[in-house]
Structure 1
Amino acid sequence: MTHYDLIVIGTGSGNSIVDDRFDDLSVAIIEQGLFGGTCLNTGCIPTKMFVYAAEVARTARDSSRYGVDAHVDGVRWPDIRERVFGRIDPIESDGRSYRSERLPNVTVYPEHAEFTGRRELTTAGGRVLTADRFVIAAGSRVIVPDIDGLDAAAVGAPGSRIHSSDTVMRLAELPGSMIVLGGGYIAAEMAHVFSALGTSMTVVARSAPLLRHQDAAIAERFTECARESWDVHLNAQVTAVRTGSDGVEVDYRSADGAVTTLAADTLLLASGRRPSGDLLRADNAGIDMHADGRIAVDEFQRVLSGGTAQDDVFALGDVCSPYQLKHVANHEARVVQANLIDPDHLTASDHRYVPSAVFTHPQIASVGLTEQEAHDDGRSYVVATHDYGAVAYGWALEDTTGFVKLLADRDSGQLIGAHILGPEASMIIQPLIQAMSFGLDAKAMAHGQYWIHPALPEVIENALLKLDLPG
């Protein structure tokens, strides 16, 4: 048995906690996978690097609308892949060696571990570790749906035609055709990447519309756009998967009971991710769990046990948070770090206005309440929308689908929701996040500053001006 002052489980955002302020402590870091977690290795960063290449290809193919006749001579998938992982893999390697070799007070255990007691872990190699304090930052993992013929162990294996987001970006060659199972953000982003690079794309979702957790107006417009680029099948219950030497087949049952068979070179499972707390056997440590598998924490990121916050165990990121977002995990890591350093003056996490973006085509960004949520909460609110095509930069883009939708409290004038579909949505939403976070009301935001003409943020200005607020 080896005892430490602190054990950190997971090296995504959890890896940022231990800095020189912890030099006097003995620390163990446990990581059974790649250093850097999902975001660096299989999530946010590589996907967005692929998205940019996809945008370049799509822009060239769509250039005729601007009077420019361009075309894509070819897509060098191996070069695109190596551009991405040639940058990411060395970062993972350097992070691992830094923690393993250059910090005398830190010991890295590159293996799985499970709780075998309230403050005790046992690693896959049989090492028993105890600590005064723990940080659980074990993240989440890909969901492999229970479908007849689908072998979870074969997903992403060498030579397999069935992949998840963990493995599909490292394919040896670009598939000629692909079926994506799922209707969420992973499905939307990966379908955009591969279709823009030349793969014939089919998307199968068990519900409707696509991205159904977005504001209804955004989800419906995006689904319309998706149908123009992909073969989309909604309200489809997949019943069987079959693989062969020449590809993969998928059977699904539609709402009327009819069974349809689809075929492609490759199948991508994009059914979402689940928290990994169960793999740690958190129940052995008396840790409370939500029904969806998340570890329960309080506002200070302290883990709950029997409903009571534990001063010596913290959790952060996907393993405990309803927001599977890197910027949320980073925020929670800063909170945990502050509370480890100064436990007498606890810092609370701020989850009031958590923004998100979907880097698909068109791009989507949102923050705050959807209109349905505002209605269900009984809020008194006003709504305004404005199209990209109604501002000068929208003319330059020849945009016919993008729009901004804003919700504001009728009485206070405070923004309570913002939803954008269109080019650079993830960038132009930032002033709205700032206004909501710092209490700037919609009228003051619209009238109290200059809006550069004819820049794209004018679409936000016009939406703000259209809000029917008193005064």
Structure 2
Amino acid sequence: MAENYDVIVVGSGPGGYVTAIRSAQLGLKTAIVEREHLGGICLNWGCIPTKALLRSAEILDHANHAKNYGLTLEGKITANVKDVVARSRGVSARLNGGVAFLMKKNKVDVIWGEAKLTKPGEIVVGAPSKPAVQPQNPVPKGVKGEGTYTAKHIIVATGARPRALPGIEPDGKLIWTYFEAMKPEEFPKSLLVMGSGAIGIEFASFYRSMGVDVTVVELLPQIMPVEDAEISAFARKQLEKRGLKIITDAKVTKVEKGANDVTAHVETKDGKVTPIKADRLISAVGVQGNIENLGLEALGVKTDRGCIVTDGYGKTNVAGIYAIGDVAGPPMLAHKAEHEGVICVEKIAGVPGVHALDKGKIPGCTYCDPQVASVGLTEAKAKELGRDIRVGRYSFGANGKAIALGEDQGLIKTIFDKKTGELIGAHMVGAEVTELIQGFVVAMNLETTEEELMHTVFPHPTLSEMMKESVLDAYGRVLNA
């Protein structure tokens, strides 16, 4: 006889496990299905371990510029690839165990295996079709296994995987995805990164810090295409100062493999094709939702461009089936998945006052050097929508804390509706902006106006003071510039 639950979540990434916890908090009998590793890609192979790698790169960069701070370090500072990777994997393993603890603490049953929806309200869990890619994190104790399980509400949170271009498919040796890029056995001497979204630029930044000769190829006219053009241009200039080679308006048309290198044929918009040889190539051309082999097509669940179609509450077109996170479409961000999952399960539980997800107020962060962060409309998008706007800017070079830190290259940009004073966009590039951006996210959620921001007291000396100065600049009242 099938075991019955109120809610079953398929996939234990950030969206899945947070949804399961909130479901249990609301008194719903909850289970979560996982086939590889608790915490999903983000915790095991994405957000967290990449930040550990980038932290090693940051420390190395600071050490190599110790003289700028009046310090002398004896001998040459070098990176030990095995130790750098081991630290990153250790951070991931620690958090993986933490998710197992949270499931137990919140009385969420963990079902180990691969789920398939056989009909609304029912899943069949079979043996995983492939072994776990992170063997240092064993299957948690006390999990349930293969069998049939039922629930009134089934939430699909199966995430996404790297997208592969025909003819340039990753092979794990010469052509990498982020899986291989995260755990190299040795650093290549040269690297070509195909794609300049967050994943591509973060790895380009990391490997450059490790002394690798890095070239980035981007199809569109600017790197980090979702960002404001002014911020993107500033970031590109700083990355190029660090020695990265960046080619925009270009595409890799063909890759030839050698014994231990690749030759990429890069075509620019003028039709010229240039061969670029590199030891390794990272394919970072986006991700695609994991919608296959779930039984969705047979049940008539609507999909679009590789993702499950939902309303603002995670509901699909089939009663009792929901989807959240990457598999439910862009923006494909862990924090979006978490919030989306909470909204979904609270709506299921009948929590009053639940609002549909507002994707316009989801921040985006790229942890390269310099960091980039943003929320809301870009200047170009605001103009395209016909908004009458005010734009404020403030440079890191005018901020005392940034100068004291030796981090005086950066920019804060704010965009306001001229008629209402509503903050409709904020964009940043520079040190620690991934931490600063949340101040503007809170302001936007509270529908804060420029007047309220101007009357907010920011502590001194801090980087956050630049946020207020950018607001003041939009209204011709900047004080420290």
Q: TM-score, normalised by structure 2?
A: 0.86
AA of the residue aligned to 2:346: A
Unaligned residue ranges in structure 2 (runs of 5+): 128-145
Q: Which residue of 2 aligns with 1:14?
A: 16
Distance 1:117 1:40 in 2: 31
CA spacing shift, 1:95–1:105, aligned 2, 3 Å: closer
Tell me, yes or no, if structure 1 residue 273 matches structure 2 residue 287: yes
Distance 2:100 2:148 in 1: 22
Correspondence list, 1:198-213, <5 A? 198-213=211-226
CA spacing shift, 1:346–1:289, aligned 2, 3 Å: farther
Contact 1:60–1:72, Cα closer than 8 Å, also in 2: no
Distance 2:100 2:457 in 1: 47
Distance 1:90 1:68 in 2: 34
The structure 1 residue matched to 2:205, chosen from 170, 192, 207, is: 192
CA-CA distance at 1:55 after TM superposition = 0.8
CA-CA distance at 1:468 after TM superposition = 2.5
Q: Map Cα deviations across residues 113-151 of structure 1 (whole Å, 9 max, x no partner).
A: 33344444455559555432201111111111113xx34
Distance 1:33 1:369 in 2: 37
The structure 1 residue matched to 2:439, chosen from 411, 431, 441, is: 431
Distance 1:205 1:376 in 2: 24
SS, match of residue 260 in structure 1: strand
Q: Which residue of 1 aligns with 2:411?
A: 403
Contact 2:400–2:461, Cα closer than 8 Å, also in 1: yes
Q: Which residue of 2 aligns with 1:235?
A: 249
SS, match of residue 322 in structure 2: strand
CA spacing shift, 1:3–1:177, aligned 2, 3 Å: same
Q: Which residue of 1 aligns with 2:272?
A: 258
Contact 2:221–2:249, Cα closer than 8 Å, also in 1: yes
Contact 2:394–2:411, Cα closer than 8 Å, also in 1: yes
AA of the residue aligned to 1:360: C
SS, match of residue 30 in structure 1: strand
Distance 1:91 1:468 in 2: 45
Tell me, yes or no, if structure 1 residue 51 matches structure 2 residue 54: yes
Distance 1:449 1:118 in 2: 51
Q: Which residue of 1 aligns with 2:183?
A: 170
CA-CA distance at 1:317 after TM superposition = 0.9
Q: Which residue of 2 aligns with 1:80?
A: 84
SS, match of residue 182 in structure 2: helix
Q: TM-score, normalised by structure 1?
A: 0.88
Q: Which moved more, 1:216-225 or 1:417-426?
A: 216-225
Tell me, yes or no, if structure 1 residue 382 matches structure 2 residue 390: yes
CA spacing shift, 1:34–1:72, aligned 2, 3 Å: farther
Distance 1:96 1:66 in 2: 43
Q: Which residue of 1 aligns with 2:456?
A: 449
Q: Map Cα deviations across residues 297-336 of structure 1 (whole Å, 9 max, x no partner).
A: 222222224xxxx3x2222111114221111111122223
CA-CA distance at 1:175 after TM superposition = 2.1
AA of the residue aligned to 1:192: S
Distance 1:260 1:28 in 2: 53
Distance 1:467 1:23 in 2: 48
CA spacing shift, 1:399–1:84, aligned 2, 3 Å: closer
Distance 1:8 1:115 in 2: 12
CA-CA distance at 1:357 after TM superposition = 1.0
Q: Map Cα deviations across residues 132-190 of structure 1 (whole Å, 9 max, x no partner).
A: 2201111111111113xx345x3x3xxx1221112321222222221111111101111
CA-CA distance at 1:30 after TM superposition = 2.5
The structure 1 residue matched to 2:40, chosen from 37, 46, 68, is: 37
Q: Map Cα deviations across residues 383-424 of structure 1 (whole Å, 9 max, x no partner).
A: 111111022223324555311111011111121100011111
Distance 1:96 1:169 in 2: 23
Identity in percent: 27
The structure 1 residue matched to 2:430, chosen from 401, 404, 422, is: 422
Correspondence list, 1:60-71, <5 A? 60-70=63-73
For the aligned residues, what is the CA RMSD?
Answer: 2.7
CA spacing shift, 1:376–1:86, aligned 2, 3 Å: same
AA of the residue aligned to 1:89: A
Distance 2:226 2:108 in 1: 44
Q: Map Cα deviations across residues 358-399 of structure 1 (whole Å, 9 max, x no partner).
A: 101111110111011111111111111111102222332455
Contact 2:64–2:77, Cα closer than 8 Å, also in 1: no
CA spacing shift, 1:360–1:21, aligned 2, 3 Å: closer
SS, match of residue 89 in structure 1: helix
Q: Which moved more, 1:1-10 or 1:217-226?
A: 1-10
SS, match of residue 172 in structure 1: coil
Q: Map Cα deviations across residues 176-222 of structure 1 (whole Å, 9 max, x no partner).
A: 22111111110111111111122221111222211121011011112
Q: Which residue of 1 aligns with 2:299?
A: 285
